[in-house]
Structure 1
Amino acid sequence: MSFIDEINPVNALIVGASQGIGLGFVKKLLEDDRIAKVYATSRQGESATDLIALAGEHSERLIYLKMDITDELQIIEAVQKISAQVDKLHLVVNCVGLLHEDNLQPEKSLRQINSENLLRYFQINSIGAVLLAKHLLPLLRHGERSVFATISAKLGSIGDNQLGGWYGYRASKAALNMFMRTAAIEYKRSSPKALIVTLHPGTTDTRLSRPFQGNVPAEKLFSVERTVTQLLTVIEQLQEGDSGQFFSWDGSKLPW
């Protein structure tokens, strides 16, 4: 039985919901009548036209919030807006991630390492998530089961790294895993019903992965809908002892 079945009403927050997996989560949750409220964030309104249109169609259930997770003040403001409407959240999925943008591309060798790019990777892929964990704690500290899941990547597994390269992305996702593992230990003391996990979604057909899909076999390239369905299945099947773990899309545990 899913923890969502045990709770009524369920309030969810999807962070980074303007496109890709985040937008897919919003659409899937809106189809689920167990979900009362969906809060959905994006960094800028210009790129969130689909999300804002959905919020217009589902104004009772979907609330759009502008939030950049690299700006702690914006996180505080968004959490205050949510807290003014509901006193608890049951599902948080952080879908924010950076692999490439403009002049920033995954490094193929040490020669390409650039400290500004490394800082950008860590700011978005690692630090933003732990700031969320910091400020969402009051909304996840309650007597009902809740899950805070962050999209990580198998490339962040140190034990699984056989190919090298992609220094900034790999390291920032490894740091994300450590931040979430550490936050899970603290949450267990202050909010024992809340589970914190990191999730590897598999290669999903989104803007993030598009330049790197050439070598991916067709059966290993997932649609957004399939990825979201698979990840929700993993989330719904989590048990009490799973907090602080790193799961793949099929529910298997990944090495650190």
Structure 2
Amino acid sequence: MSYNKNILLIGGTSGIGKALLERLSTDHKVTKIFATYHRHKPDTNTTDKVVWLNMDVREEGSIKQAIADINRQTQHIDWVINAVGLLHTNTNQPEKAVRQLDAEFFLQNMTLNALPSLLIAKHIISLLKAGTPSELRPAIYATISARVGSISENELGGWYSYRMSKAALNMGMKTLSIEWQRTLKNVCVAVIQPGTVDTPLSKPFQANVAKDKLFTPDACARHLLKVLNELTVEDTGCFIDWAGKTIAW
């Protein structure tokens, strides 16, 4: 079965998002990619498939405006991929102990990691509803999460802000999948762990990562797209890794 996809890629300017954009741009099944940036519109020679949109995922008004811009250009979106995330800043690193907890940094993590996927979902519903109407090829709403967001697999402790924001994200997406099973029956909501990827986000924490477990952004994008292309409606509400294996909540 051949079909064409319109894709919304949130965070298309660096790391995983940029690698996803490069691979999706060469996919003949992809018709249009609406890729978002925060501060500076990329000055790159992307294909005619790519439409750049400004979006500050911390602001609902910015999200609403970007999706309104998409709505003026297409009647449907088939895939949404949110690749935006925060692990550390110039002034804050993940906490090793509770005494290091900083309220402002905690809220930054929640604002960037947990909330945006719900706000985007709130405003993208009508475009997703008109997406690919097939159980074999569902519309997909995917969010990049992290294994450390698993409560069951937390054996090391630490990283309070990041762990809690990703656990909150996971709960939000699981809850969304249940709602959309009733109202958007041909949408698969997926939470995906990309592995450890050689990007600025993970750079300070790569020392103990085995060479074969540190992925290039391109390898990560290849893994993620393979998983996304294999999802069905029955998989909605899943929490899976880059190889498609289930992660315990």
**Superposition TM-score tier, normalisation by shorter sequence:** over 0.9
Classify the secondary structure of the residue corresponding to 2:111: helix
Stretches of structure 1 lacking an aligned partner (at least 5 in a row):
none
Corresponding letter in the other structure for 1:197: A
- The alignment of Structure 1 onto Structure 2 pairs a total of residues equal to 244
2:70 is matched by which residue type in structure 1?
A: I
1:179 to 172, 178, 188: 172
Partner amino acid for 1:229? R
Q: Separation in 2 of the partners of 1:87 and 1:187? A: 19
**Residue 94 (structure 2) pairs with residue 106 (structure 1):** yes
Match of 1:24 among 19, 31, 54: 19
User: Is the aligned partner of 1:168 residue 2:156?
Assistant: no
Give me the whole-angstrom Cα distance separating, in 2, the residues matched to 1:128 and 1:89: 18
What percent identity do the matched residue pairs reach? 39
Is the Cα contact below 8 Å between 2:2 and 2:29 reproduced in 1? no
Matching of residue 72 in structure 1 with residue 64 in structure 2: no
Select the residue among 93, 98, 107 that pairs with 1:119.
Answer: 107
TM-score (norm 2): 0.95
**1:53 to 2:41 alignment:** no
Question: TM-score scaled by structure 1?
Answer: 0.93
1:13 maps to 8
Mapped to 2, the partners of 1:254 and 1:35 lie a distance apart of: 29
Give per-residue Cα distances to partners, 1:100-159, cap 9 Å, x unaligned: 111121000011011111111000000111101111111111334210110000010000
Confirm whether residue 232 of structure 1 aligns to residue 225 of structure 2: yes
1:6 Cα deviation after fit: 4.5
CA distance in 1: counterparts of 2:193 and 2:54, whole angstroms: 25
Letter in 1 for 2:28: D
CA distance in 2, matches of 1:123, 1:13: 20
Secondary structure of residue in 2 paired with 1:247: strand
One-letter identity of the residue aligned with 1:26: L
CA RMSD of aligned residues (A): 1.1
User: Are 2:193 and 1:200 aligned?
Assistant: yes
SS at match of 2:119: helix
Other-structure match for 1:221 = 214
One-letter code aligned to 2:44 = A
Q: Match for 2:125: what amino acid?
A: L
Alpha-carbon distance in structure 2 between the residues aligned to 1:238 and 1:28: 18
**Shift of residue 61 of structure 1?**
1.0
Q: For 2:203, give the aligned amino acid.
A: R
For residues 79-109 of structure 1, what are the alpha-carbon distances to aligned partners after superposition, in whole Å with 9 as ceiling and x for unaligned? 0110101111111110000001111210000
Give 1:90's match in structure 2, choosing from 78, 83, 94. 78
Report what 2:149 is aligned to: 156
| Alpha-carbon distance in structure 2 between the residues aligned to 1:126 and 1:180 | 9
Q: CA deviation at 1:239?
A: 2.0
SS of the aligned residue for 1:198 comes to strand
Q: Distance in 2 between matches of 1:61 and 1:250?
A: 28
Structure 2 segments unaligned to the other structure (5+ residues): none
- Report the Cα distance in structure 1 between the residues aligned to 2:73 and 2:162, rounded to whole angstroms: 36
